[in-house]
Amino acid sequence: MLNEQLIMEMKERVFEANLALPESGLVKLTWGNVSEINREAGVIVIKPSGVPYCTMKASDMVVTDLAGELLEAGMKPSSDLATHVELYKAFEGVNAVVHTHSKNAVMWAQAGREIPAYGTTHADTFYGMVPCTRQLTAEEVASAYEVETGKVIIETFKKGGIDPIAVPGVLVYGHGPFTWGATPQKAVENSIVLDEIAEMACVTEVVNDAVPPIPQYLLDKHYFRKHGVNAYYGQY
């Protein structure tokens, strides 16, 4: 039996996180979605498909089980639900997922390029380059597009030996960015950072097309002063 209070709280968090996408300039029209998972309760809450942000309500958020099957009557879930489900299955410690078509990140995804760590703004959130997946095959797109999108993200992290907690985002070739985090708010924050560093990297290469990534010692310093047991940035 569903815990109504827990579901209501999840719906409110997911609703607020979805509203933050257009407010942050990451989304136009209905091009984005946020979800949250509670593994103990066995539920995922996600934005409904194609609903304008200006008319959406917290009660419209869609509730599914961990396989993406509906648990409540109501609106259809985001068409990207199956991708979110695959990420939740593969990435323990990820409690929220965001997908957008934010302009700067999409430019890199369309170019099929990872985003190098050119500076400390990047290093504060992403411990190394932001990877870009390979292109999906015609068979993958035809068979189970959203599922295969999740699988190609997971494949990219496994092949690259990348920790999804240390690098909380990815570019899907020709498509756009997915980010994640411990909370919906944090996952949205990671999307904001990703789009900012995508723009910074693009202009950096215009200014100097031979610029190397920052050295490992500087990447380490900026990442670990915010993350891990020895972090000291902030008040806590």
Distance CA 86, CA 147 (A): 7
Is residue 126 within 8 A of residue 167, CB to CB? The reply is: yes
| 55: phi then psi, degrees, rounded to nearest 5 | -110, -10
- 60 in catalytic set: no
Query: Tokens at residue 170, please?
Result: 């990815």
Instruction: Tell me which amino acid residue 11 is.
Output: K
Instruction: Please identify which of the residues 53, 60, 124, 217 carries the catalytic annotation.
Output: 124
Contact 179, 191 (CB under 8 A): yes
- Catalytic residue, candidates 65, 163, 220, 233: 233
| Joined tokens for residue 122 | 């990047």
Contacts 24+ apart (CB under 8 A), 104-108: 104/195, 104/196, 104/198, 104/199, 104/202, 105/171, 105/176, 105/177, 105/194, 105/195, 105/198, 106/175, 106/176, 106/177, 107/198, 107/202, 108/132, 108/171, 108/198, 108/201, 108/202
Rounded distance between C-alpha atoms, residue 119 and residue 219, angstroms: 8
127 is catalytic: no
- Give the residue numbers annotated as catalytic, written as ranges: 124, 233
